[in-house]
Amino acid sequence: MKIGVLTGGGDCPGLNAVIRAVVRKSLQNGHEVIGIREGWRGILEKNFMKLDRDSISGILHRGGTILGTSRTNIYKEKDGEARVKANMAENGIDAIVAIGGEDTLGIASKLSKAGVKVVGVPKTIDNDLNATDYTFGFDTAVNVATEAIDRLHTTAEAHNRVIVVEVMGRHAGWIAVHSGMAGGADMILVPEKPFNIEEVCDVLTKRHSSGKNFSIVVVSEGAKLQTDDIADKDGSFVLSSMKTDSFGHVRLGGIGNILAEEIEKRTGFETRATVLGHIQRGGSPTAFDRVLATRFGVFAAELVEKGKFGYMAALKGNEIVAVSLEQAVGELKTIDMDLYKVAETFFG
Ligand code: F6P
């Protein structure tokens, strides 16, 4: 069999570890593997690269993806699905391993229903993909954010400041909750629980009047307001741009700065904002993510070997299992509110 591998959507530490695992296992199974460059765009444009033992050597620990990535939606392209099928046939590609999040795997799911042999591997630093306990890349992002919070703690304390740390998380606050808990944040704001700016300021004021002279507030980029005093009327995302990608997502970012200004204005505490941004996605994966990515990659190669198409490798407890792509992209996995309640114990 000739197996195509692609990486789509935002990059994520551990992508190369998955590619390496898919290639090594598939070669052992007696198959040929070809890299499809820059996500689904690569199959439309017939942009391929050789993937053999040599080309995947030395990539396990490297961030980014040797295949490149894009947010191309084939269903927004003219005759997209037909071109995917035709280009697969023309290049002798029998099956595709798609490594991606809800958008990339949403396409995989539709293609699978249309008869294309495809299996999925769950990727996103946001950890919001359904049907898997964790996605790879999330642990690395949480560790980067936690280290940043630790560093911000000492400077906040030295200057008697409030520091607002904006982390990624478009629809789900997993990174905020985990890094906020690990870093001892005094307040964590997530998309799942719209916040009230007055309440946030009250908590900080009480904390400062009880003897503390600094605070750390962690906010997800997609956090929403209950009221409309500093954001869109409906309390929705604070947008940094109205531009959307081919899946209709707007570019987020900016809530940290707006929140910092409001906190300073309302409480009188000197406040600064730090936006972690793409630092959370770059660089080497943690050991946890390398192992998870490797297990996912080997499992995906085995799904292909068994002819189990239309499925995704998923982590359930400590087991890697197969879940249908349809189930994986059916809905987003938002944060566990019980976990958030634990985090709330330490607010203020
Ligand atoms: O892939 C997920 C993610 O990192 C989100 O957390 C974030 O909102 C988005 O991607 C950023 O996308 P881009 O790389 O296009 O700026």
124 lines ligand 1 (CB under 6 A): yes
Domain range list for the chain = 2-136+285-328, 138-281
pLDDT tens readout for residues 116-134 = 999 999 999 999 999 999 9
Give CATH for domain 138-281.
3.40.50.460
pLDDT tens readout for residues 140-165 = 999 999 999 999 999 999 999 999 99
pLDDT tens readout for residues 160-200 = 999 999 999 999 999 999 999 999 999 999 999 999 999 99
- Evaluate if residue 230 carries a pLDDT over 70: no
127 lines ligand 1 (CB under 6 A): no
281 lines ligand 1 (CB under 6 A): yes
Work out the pLDDT band at 219, boundaries 50, 70, 90. Answer: very high
Query: What does each C-alpha distance from 64 to 52, 94, 183, 245, 283 come to in angstroms?
Result: 19, 26, 26, 20, 7
Work out the pLDDT band at 246, boundaries 50, 70, 90. Answer: confident
Nearest Cα residue to atom 16 of ligand 1: 251
Ligand 1 mean position, distance from CA 251 (Å):
8
104 lines ligand 1 (CB under 6 A): no
Ligand 1 mean position, distance from CA 86 (Å):
31
The rounded distance, in Å, linking the Cα atoms of 199 and 209 is 15
Annotated catalytic residue 338 = no
Q: Do domains 2-136+285-328 and 138-281 have the same CATH topology?
A: yes
Helix (H, G, I), strand (E, B) or coil at 274: strand
CATH architecture group of domain 2-136+285-328 = 3-Layer(aba) Sandwich (3.40)
Ligand 1 mean position, distance from CA 40 (Å):
17
Query: With pLDDT > 90 as the criterion, what percentage of the chain qualifies?
Result: 91
Work out the pLDDT band at 244, boundaries 50, 70, 90. Answer: confident
pLDDT at 232 (0 to 100): 52
Per annotation, catalytic residue among 11, 126, 186, 289: 126
Question: Half-sphere exposure of residue 298, counting CA atoms within 13 Å on the CB side?
Answer: 8
Rounded mean pLDDT, 286-309: 98
- Evaluate if residue 314 carries a pLDDT over 70: yes
pLDDT at 254 (0 to 100): 85
pLDDT at 226 (0 to 100): 81
